[in-house]
Structure 1
Amino acid sequence: MVVRMLPSGRSIAALAVLNFFLADARDGLGPFLDAFLATNGWSAVTLGAIATVGGLVGLLVTPLCGALVDGSTWKRALVGGPVILVTVAALVTLAFPQAAVVWIGQIGTAVVGAVIGPALAGLTLGLVGEAMFSRQIARNEFWNHTGNVASLLAVYVIVGLYGQPGIVGLMILTGIGALAAVTAIDPKHIDHQVARGLAHDKGAPGPSGFKVLLETRGLVLLGLIMMAFHFANAPMSRLIAQQFSIELGTPFRTTAIITGVAQLSMIAMAALTPFAIRRFGLGAVMLVALCALPLRGLLAGSFTGFWVVYPVQFLDGVGAGLLGIVTPVAAERLLSGTGRFNVGFAAVMMLQGVGASLSNVVAGWLTAVGGYGLSHQTGAGIALIAIAVFLVFRNQVIVPKPAEGNP
């Protein structure tokens, strides 16, 4: 039997700092890429093609990245390495915005960035174990969303003071912060058996085959529910920002408000979720998250005053914010003991990414046909499908922890 070292306060604090800096460091230029390239003469069609190809490539490699994390004992390197590559690719793109550089950089960013999600989940599980996983995932999300808000404020101030050189400095700073944090995590505190979903004292007979992913019906259902949810939810914030930016003529400030409200709501959800899971169960929390989306779509599609941004984006924090915590916890429970947690979680991430990617085309078409309201209300209808599937198959999707009984 292997005796597992409990993580020190330093490792847990470093994990919090890592999540704070990863809010900016994992995406490189992220949402600023389109604006930067557009000012350098790139067309909207080309920018859309880059985003689509990069996104699809990232989705295709995500399960492979999960398998890599399952089999690797270099969890810290699988977070730190992509941070370095993503930051370098973004800096090169800023310096040389030529076609070959941009295409290679963005596809490369999508590939290496796909490693970070499964690697971070595995690193967290290996540090704290199954019993504390849901609480630590909530803390991760709290610090990640806090980092998003801080990054948003920093960009707003730094761009105004220093322009593009300020963005370069901010990217370097966040990259260094993320690397320093991941280095501060003591590798001796990472149990790699637990990190892949095996108990540390049950190494034999070893991990299950990959077919366990298809045979675990609850995991497939979880992936389909997440795909439907993100298909309905993903385009809403972007379309709301477009709508009010055009009406008000202040794209940056409008987008900042819309994004900021959602991120602040997600911070609140991350703080409340551990208590809610303990008090009401994982299934009840997932149901609340799913139910927030049809209400969000109904509000966004029925009212046109700017005031609606606040409840609509608050509900984004409730829905997407809660699911960002609940999804990896549900996947971990479903795959506990199989040794395939990271690849299974990556497969769920791929399915929700497919939903989010396909939704942009459909939402754009619906907006062209019937306006923003039609797109939002259609999203609300699709969200009801996700709720119905969850209610019918809830007992297969949600596996209770042995110590807590039925949720």
Structure 2
Amino acid sequence: MVTHTDRRNNLSLDSLNFFLADVRDGLGPYLAIYLLAVHHWEPASIGLVMTLAGIAALVTQTPAGALVDNTRSKRAVIAIAALLVTGSCVVLPFVTSFSLVAITQALSAAAASVFAPAISAITLGITGPRAFTRRTGRNETFNHAGNACAALLAGGFAYLFGPVAVFYLMAAMALCSVIAVSFVDANAINHDLARGLDPSDATHAKAPSGLAVLLTNKALLMFAICCALFHLANAAMLPLVSQKLAQVNLQMATPLTSACIVAAQLVMVPVALLVGAKADVWGRKPLLLAGFLILPLRGVLYTLSADPYWLVAVQMLDGVGAGIFGALFPVVVKDLTLGTGHFNISLGALSTVFGLGAALSASVAGIVLQEAGYNAAFLTLAVIAGVAFVLLWLAVPETLPRVGNIEPVLQPEEERFG
């Protein structure tokens, strides 16, 4: 039976994922546009600020996961982080020095690193393992809807009020996320389940395993490598497409790039819903393989034509691949760490690994682009994606747990939250 509290928690999680969507990803290209157009910064200085923010995010991912594993104040962690992001956005229009801008963005990136593990932890703590997959798919659905909405609003506000409007939009969304998380019932969160302890183990509450167990988890390590290769291949594709669009039609490059982003996010919405509904039926691996296979296909298709509409259409496939990956990533990590008590630190550690892959992607693509051109760069990324697909196929097992591995008492949670 679905209670009022269950409905409130569902709506609160929906709202939280929607409003945090843009906040989790940071200002990104909007910051670059603002610093270039308003303060006339040199591109090298802009790149350095964004690099420092990226490093701050990478360094804090794993500690953020450890914090979420060990705290019983998960809602407060999200609220404090959202307020820090809000503050960094609000003060940014009033600071112009390199050091102050760099500090605000590094602080914002570090704070934002807690959002993904904290949301996953609250979700798992409320739903239990059986209903986690469907609820995670729903989380991702609202995340992508929020990203698409934020991109449209940012474009409209920036056109009407200038680039600075984007900062206030992000601050408003961060404040809305604080309100949303405050409506999650704290008593509904089982903190043992939230950190990945096995509910079927009678001794689970006494002693989570040592962190060394994660380093001996071969399947988890291989999945981490696959994730790193996936993002090494994927992260540079949209920037390459944007550059190619600029070569074809400089005036339309920005609108078409925005169209690429919004279209991909809109595609991710039904994909995430499908994954949430079917991953417990079809298994994780077939869906993951489909998502990984789309990436090398995209790389090859980009080389077939320079027509702007063709490039935008191919970029929409990113909505399928990234939509599958985003919905299944926390589910697979949950499967592989169930019983260890280190679910969230594992999420943080794997996020760090694939973040490094994403950070290196632009450098690899840029070197190939400079030496051999766009087609060679796309094909290089496609080959890396192909290696990730083969490695996932051969080295990562199906992680869908057998029904007997999950305590039957959790079935009512599945009915309420699925």
TM-score (structure 1 length as normaliser): 0.93
1:301 to 285, 288, 303: 303
SS in structure 1 of the partner of residue 373 of structure 2: helix
CA separation in 2, counterparts of 1:118 and 1:271?
A: 20
* Correspondences of 1:387-406 after superposition (within 5 Å): 387-395=389-397, 398-403=398-403
In 1, are the aligned partners of 2:295 and 2:385 still within 8 Å (CA)?
yes
Write the letter of the residue equivalent to 2:403: A
| C-alpha contact 1:266 1:321 (8 A) present in aligned 2 | yes
User: Hey, what's the Cα distance between the residues in 1 that align with 2:205 and 2:179?
Assistant: 36
| Partner in structure 1 of residue 196 of structure 2 | 197
- State the alpha-carbon separation in 1 of the partners of residues 5 and 44 from structure 2: 49
SS of match in other structure, 2:403: coil
Contact 2:23–2:112, Cα closer than 8 Å, also in 1: no
Report the equivalent of 1:110. 109
Distance (Å, rounded) in 2 between the aligned partners of 1:28 and 1:316: 20
Letter aligned with residue 285 of structure 2:
G
Residues 250-259 or 180-189, more deviating: 250-259
Deviations 1:222-272 (A, max 9, x none): 100000010001110111012203421223311211111111111121121
Asked if structure 2 preserves the Cα contact closer than 8 Å seen for 1:28 and 1:87, the reply is no
The whole-number CA distance in structure 2 between the counterparts of 1:311 and 1:202 is 53
Listed one character per residue, the Cα deviations across residues 118-142 of structure 1 (whole Å, up to 9, x for unaligned) are 1111111111110111111111110
What's the RMSD between the two structures over aligned residues? 1.9
For 2:379, which of 352, 365, 377 is the aligned residue? Answer: 377
Partner of 1:133: 132
Deviation at 1:359, TM superposition (A): 0.9
Residue of structure 2 in register with 1:220 after alignment? 221
Tell me the distance in 2 between the aligned counterparts of 1:115 and 1:160.
32
1:167 aligns with 2:166: yes
Change (3 A) 1:161 1:380: same
**Matched letter for residue 41 of structure 1:** H
Question: CA–CA distance in 1 between the matches of 2:391 and 2:279?
Answer: 21
For 1:336 and 1:230, locate their aligned partners in 2 and report how far apart those are by CA, in whole Å.
25
1:285 lines up with 2:287 in the alignment: yes
Q: What is the CA distance between 1:28 and its match in structure 2? A: 4.4
User: How far off is 1:168 after superposition?
Assistant: 4.4
Structure 1 vs Structure 2: percent identity of aligned residues? 33
SS at match of 1:401: coil
Asked whether the equivalents of residues 7 and 127 of structure 1 are also in contact (C-alpha less than 8 Å), the reply is no
CA distance in 2: counterparts of 1:387 and 1:7, whole angstroms: 42
Write the distance in 2 (CA, Å) between the matches of 1:7 and 1:298.
49
Report deviation, 1:321: 1.2
Compute the displacement of 1:196 (Å).
0.1
Alignment match, 1:179: 178
Structure 1 position 143 matched with structure 2 position 142: yes
Deviates more, 1:172-181 or 1:8-17: 172-181
Q: Is the 8 A contact 1:28 1:90 kept in 2?
A: no
Cα offset, 1:52, TM superposition: 1.9
Structure-2 residue corresponding to 1:25: 23
Are the equivalent residues in 1 in contact too, given 2:299–2:381 (CA < 8 A)? Answer: yes
- Paired with 2:345 and 2:164, the residues of 1 have a C-alpha distance of 39
Structure 2: distance between partners of 1:96 and 1:105: 9
SS of match in other structure, 1:258: helix
* Cα distance change, pair 49–400 in 1 and its aligned pair in 2 (3 A): same
**Which amino acid letter does the alignment assign opposite residue 226 of structure 1?**
C
Classify the secondary structure of the residue corresponding to 2:28: coil
Call closer, same or farther: CA 1:246–1:84 in 2, change over 3 Å. Answer: farther
User: Aligned partners of 1:76, 1:98: CA distance in 2, in Å?
Assistant: 34
Q: 1:18-43 CA distances to partner (integer Å, 9 max, x unpaired)? A: 10000123344332000111121211
Measure how far apart 1:202 and its partner are. Answer: 4.2
Query: Cα deviation per residue 1:182-228 (whole Å; 9 max; x = unaligned)?
Result: 10111011111000001456434321111111011111111000000
1:340 aligns to what? Answer: 342
Which AA in structure 2 matches 1:19? N
Residue 34 of structure 1 is aligned with which of 29, 32, 35?
32
- Report 1:68-83 matches (<5 A): 68-83=67-82
Q: Which moved more, 1:187-196 or 1:52-61?
A: 52-61
Q: Tell me, in whole angstroms, the C-alpha distance in 1 between the residues paired with 2:186 and 2:296.
A: 43
Structure 1 unaligned spans of 5+: none
For 2:171 and 2:48, locate their aligned partners in 1 and report how far apart those are by CA, in whole Å. 27
Deviating more after overlay: 29-38 vs 188-197: 29-38
**Structure 2 residues not aligned, in runs of 5+:** 406-418
Give the stretch that moved more between structures: 101-110 or 337-346: 101-110
Residues of 1 paired with 2:170 and 2:44: CA distance?
27
Equivalent in the alignment of 1:238: 239
- In the other structure, the counterpart of 1:354 is 356
Q: 1:16 aligns with which of 14, 17, 41?
A: 14
Please tell me whether the aligned partners of residues 301 and 375 of structure 1 are also in contact (alpha carbons under 8 angstroms): no
